[in-house]
Structure 1
Amino acid sequence: THSERQVMCGRGYNYRTSICLSIVLTLLPLLFSAPQLWNFRGLLGWKWVGLQPMQTSSVFLTAKPFSAPVRVRSLYSPSTAKDPGSMSAAAPKWAQKTITLPPQRRGCHLITPKIMKEIAQDLSEFQCGLAHLFLQHTSASLTINENYDSDVRDDTETFLNRIVPEGRSAPWKHTIEGPDDMPAHIKSSMFGCTLTVPITNGQLNMGTWQGIWLCEHRDNATPRNVVVTLNGI
């Protein structure tokens, strides 16, 4: 009868619905968990991109089919991101001071103790960074070399005087302030007027036998200014 056919059709409909629902529930977890099936989802015009900054993750849906998943690593750790105070504590800081050194006789002089005496308090506030030293003169220079045997400084001065001659036989034109005028400028350019030293745990991180030298290249020396700039955390 008509009513019997309706009952049988209803039973068939429910049976087919149950089978389809079972198949969908079986395949659905695979589609969203199996990496090898990600390109299948690309056929639909979508791709899952997982962003994993350190230990946290989030998911974005983008329309880039046939692409492999992309992972992006954060530059900040979760602890830093959750604690704004830690970021401000690690923010770079600066300090600067001009040190005036008294006149020195011509030659090379170890000035590490004098520099440290002037910057020790500021230096102690830095755990990691750089110390930049700038000499504000053109007839003297800065360098880093032997800090123990003074003969090294004497030998260095002897070497400089031999390779940069002075006097009437020298070919220099710039002698307004005496025969040592132009040689002093040349020697200054040879060694330079700047130094950069790493800072570690509040100290200048130099080698055991390294020291900061001021090389005075004039016979009649004047006070010398050194600008020290500290930068770090």
Structure 2
Amino acid sequence: MKSLTEYLTFNLPSKMAFVNITPQVEAIVRRSGVKEGLVLCNSMHITSSVFINDDEAGLHHDFGVWLEQLAPFNPDPNHYHHNRTGEDNADAHLKRQIMGREVVVAITNGRLDFGPWEQIFYGEFDGYRPKRVLVKVIGE
């Protein structure tokens, strides 16, 4: 069995953003030489996410609006108990919980085996600092 582990690093200049990481993941799968297997992509930070969806700007805008309605940014320690620790990012933890930590995608004939329109995204909910995504490819 073959395996390859690589890390993607992001330092986004905004509090919340979505980045299509499919091309980077495809390149890692090619470098791995795996023809049949799986690739795991997971955010290594508790205020960011990796998820699969459509690469459509209107949808990404809607994600941001929806997440802000569910867990609005509010640094007031009386709003979120987590912010009583001296942090101001409780909303980012909640947004990550909603969008998820990781994805697993099948590799068939050396390529990501997606459904129609599926792409892999990194979701940032507490930006302005470096964060990593683990990409691990396993297979034959």
Measured against the shorter chain, the TM-score band is: 0.7 to 0.9
1:225 corresponds to which letter in structure 2?
R
2:134 corresponds to which letter in structure 1?
V
Pick from 201, 207, 211: which aligns with 2:115? 207
Q: Does 1:140 align with 2:44?
A: no
Q: Which digits, 9 at most, give the CA deviation of each residue in 1:98-154, with x for residues without a partner?
A: 22234252122222123334x14324x22211001121101111110012x211111
Aligned equivalent of 1:111: 21
Distance (whole Å) between structure 2 residues aligned to residue 101 and residue 194 of structure 1: 16
1:164 corresponds to which letter in structure 2?
A
Q: Name the structure where strand makes up a greater proportion of residues.
A: 2
Shift of 1:200: 0.8
Structure 1 residues 1-233: aligned runs within 5 Å: 92-105=1-14, 106-117=16-27, 119-123=28-32, 125-147=33-55, 149-167=56-74, 168=76, 171-175=79-83, 176-178=86-88, 181-218=89-126, 220-233=127-140
Q: Name the structure where helix makes up a greater proportion of residues.
A: 1
Distance (whole Å) between structure 2 residues aligned to residue 169 and residue 177 of structure 1: 9
Aligned equivalent of 1:54: none
Q: What fraction of aligned residue pairs are identical, expressed as a percent?
A: 26
Contact 2:105/2:113, CA 8 A, preserved across alignment: yes
Distance (whole Å) between structure 1 residues aligned to residue 112 and residue 123 of structure 2: 20
1:206 corresponds to which letter in structure 2?
F
Shift of 1:169: 9.4
In structure 2, runs of 5+ residues without a counterpart are none
In structure 1, runs of 5+ residues without a counterpart are 1-91
The structure with the largest alpha-carbon Rg is 1
> What root-mean-square deviation, in Å, do the aligned CA atoms of Structure 1 and Structure 2 show?
2.0
Aligned equivalent of 1:42: none
1:108 corresponds to which letter in structure 2?
F
Contact 1:108/1:156, CA 8 A, preserved across alignment: no
Partner SS, residue 156 of structure 1: helix
Give the ranges of 4+ consecutive aligned residues of structure 1 lying more than 4 Å apart after TM superposition.
none
Distance (whole Å) between structure 2 residues aligned to residue 170 and residue 110 of structure 1: 35
Q: Tell me the TM-score normalized by structure 2.
A: 0.85
Distance (whole Å) between structure 1 residues aligned to residue 11 and residue 24 of structure 2: 11
Instruction: Quickly say closer, same or farther: Cα 1:93–1:120, change in 2 above 3 A.
Output: closer
Higher relative contact order (CA 8 A, sep 6+): 2
